[in-house]
Amino acid sequence: MADTYDFGLVGLGVMGQNFILNVADNGFTAFGNDLDPEKVKALIKLGGDENKINASVAVTEFIKALKTPRKIMLLVPAGKVVDIVIESLLPHLDEGDIIIDGGNSFFTDTDRREAYLKEKGINFFGAGVSGGAKGARKGPSIMPGGSRDAYQHVKPIFEAVSAKYKGEPCVTYLGPKSAGNYVKMVHNGIEYGLMQLTSEIYDLLRKAGSLTNEELHKTYALWNEGRLQSFLVEITSKIFEQKDEFGNGNLVDQILDKAKQKGTGKWTSQNAMDLGIPVPTIDIAVSMREISALKSERIKADELYDRPTPESFDKKELIVKAENALYFAFIITYAQGMHQLADASKEYGYELKLTEIAKIWRAGCIIRAALLADIADAFKADENLQNLLLSTYFVEKVQETVDSVRELVAYGAKNGIPLPGLSNALTYFDAYTSTRLPLNLIQAQRDYFGSHTYERLDRKGIFHTEWGL
């Protein structure tokens, strides 16, 4: 058994188990490790042939089974657990071995771990994995960053197991240090935004158009055949079909409206603020999950305030406008995420290629969508494109849909239907495309009360006024 397995994986939960089986299915031998003997037994049973896939609870046995340089992937919860696993492996590793963090680690943790392990002669890189448990089994989108040389040892395996878009693997080396984990973080931030928007449109169709679950299923399924084709729209259409096993009609109607989160959306929002990059659609998606958690307070507040009865809206017209609005807002959300990636690349020295990022998101990952092929083309046509809204291709698409957004946001405001993601997307668009904003007044206020100075339109320099004199 010694030195015979191509790939090692620590953490045999659902994601880890599926990923290692995927590795074995694609012609590589793989050895797993987990503290839980039941998970080890389950993998061995599923793997079938011990020469192709095996596992152990013992770290020493696990390490000895791997070919050098050892390629060890961690699929364990982000945070302290990653550090604990690294420390358990270190005494048994040799110089040049490779540790890959496949979890949702915060990017600064990845930078810290890489520097720490580099001193010990061990290669470390973060590789975001998107696609959920099914993606891990059948082909995820993988976002690796770290040592370019170390990645070459893992490249054949990652390219084999990743999702494919028209034959192209949805994985590529993204850049040094924590580039991979950073891209996965922003991926998840975009995911928050798209999920919020999808749920808002559902709420609008329900309240304004009185669509039944069957009609919602058909509507989202139809949208998924067009320009909104995406994983999230696809699964949304299927959700409306699911019956409740307890016999209470459709399952979606019995699910509590409190959305949980693991922190990656919040990280995206916080870091965007650090960089000075506006991502309001992602920001509000995080905030709405926080508002949703205030269920008992929301019930009390609902009893205290009157809410308008929604005016009738022609069902067919509403569906057309809702499709326009969702497409518009999807574009805006991707634009915000890509803008953040571009600036982070400069700030942190990642050397990210946005075209390549859009390409590896086209299949396998949670935010995969037909729209990403157009996004990839836009950045390919102009590598220095500052924002998707400046792409001539997207100008046309946005112009075609923005009027529907304006109408629906106004309708939601008048009729008491919260559409924060959609309205924030519209506000972002209107602000970004405005030559002049009223922030001149804010600068005057800041100078008035704090002598913070200001700049002028008509001449260069920094100015201060003794206001009121």
Percent of the chain surpassing pLDDT 70:
99
- Sorting pLDDT into bands at 50, 70 and 90, what band is 2? low
Is 104 assigned a ligand-binding role in the annotation? yes
Three-state DSSP class for residue 52: coil
Least confident interval from 75-79, 82-86, 167-171: 75-79
Q: What is the pLDDT of residues 330-358, one digit of tens each?
A: 999 999 999 999 999 999 999 999 999 99
Between strands 123-130 and 98-101, the pairing is: parallel
Q: What is the sign of the dihedral through the CA atoms of 295, 299, 305 and 308? A: positive
In the 8-state DSSP scheme, what is residue 176?
Answer: S
Q: Could you give the angle at which helices 14-25 and 37-47 cross, rounded to 10 degrees?
A: 30
Q: How many CB atoms lie within 10 A of CB 370?
A: 15
pLDDT confidence of residue 71: 96
Three-state DSSP class for residue 76: coil
Find out whether 309 and 154 touch, Cβ atoms under 8 Å: no
Is 327 assigned a ligand-binding role in the annotation? no
Q: What is the pLDDT of residues 244-286, one digit of tens each?
A: 999 889 999 999 998 877 777 899 999 999 999 999 999 999 9
Is 387 assigned a ligand-binding role in the annotation? no
Is 187 assigned a ligand-binding role in the annotation? yes
- Sorting pLDDT into bands at 50, 70 and 90, what band is 1? low
pLDDT confidence of residue 49: 73
Phi, psi angle pair for 142, to nearest 5°: -120, 135
Is 446 assigned a ligand-binding role in the annotation? yes
184 is catalytic: yes
Angle made by CA atoms 221, 222, 227, in degrees to the nearest 5: 110
Q: How far is CA 103 from CA 21, 34, 83, 181, in A?
A: 17, 15, 12, 8
Determine the Cα–Cα distance for residues 326 and 316; give it in Å rounded to an integer. 16
Report which of 234, 256, 209 is spatially closest to residue 367, judged by C-alpha positions: 234
Report which of 121, 62, 55, 114 is spatially closest to residue 83, judged by C-alpha positions: 114
164 is catalytic: no
Residue with tokens 């659609």: 281
Q: Which residues of 292-321 are buried (b: 16+ CB within 10 A; e: fewer)?
A: beeeeeeeeeeeeeeeeebeebeeeebbeb
Distance from CA of residue 444 to its chain's centroid? 38
- Sorting pLDDT into bands at 50, 70 and 90, what band is 383? confident
Q: What is the pLDDT of residues 135-178, one digit of tens each?
A: 899 999 999 999 999 999 999 999 999 999 999 999 999 999 99
Across the range 6-12, mean pLDDT stands at 94
Q: What is the sign of the dihedral through the CA atoms of 179, 184, 188 and 191? A: positive
Is 260 assigned a ligand-binding role in the annotation? no
Is 132 assigned a ligand-binding role in the annotation? yes
DSSP string across 265-316 = HHHHHHHHHHHT---HHHHHHHHHHHHHT-HHHHHHHHHHS--PPPPP--HH
Beta-bridge partners for 124: 99
The active-site residue out of 39, 177, 191, 356 is 191
Domains assigned to the chain: 7-177 (3.40.50.720), 184-432 (1.10.1040.10), 436-469 (1.20.5.320)
Find out whether 285 and 196 touch, Cβ atoms under 8 Å: yes
Is 263 assigned a ligand-binding role in the annotation? no
Q: Could you give the angle at which helices 392-415 and 179-209 cross, rounded to 10 degrees?
A: 50
Across the range 400-416, mean pLDDT stands at 97
pLDDT confidence of residue 253: 95
pLDDT at 293 over 90: yes
The mean predicted confidence, pLDDT, of the chain is 94
Find out whether 378 and 394 touch, Cβ atoms under 8 Å: yes
Angle made by CA atoms 301, 306, 310, in degrees to the nearest 5: 115
Is 440 assigned a ligand-binding role in the annotation? no
Q: What is the pLDDT of residues 306-325, one digit of tens each?
A: 989 999 899 999 999 999 99
pLDDT confidence of residue 439: 95
The active-site residue out of 39, 177, 184, 353 is 184
Find out whether 96 and 120 touch, Cβ atoms under 8 Å: no
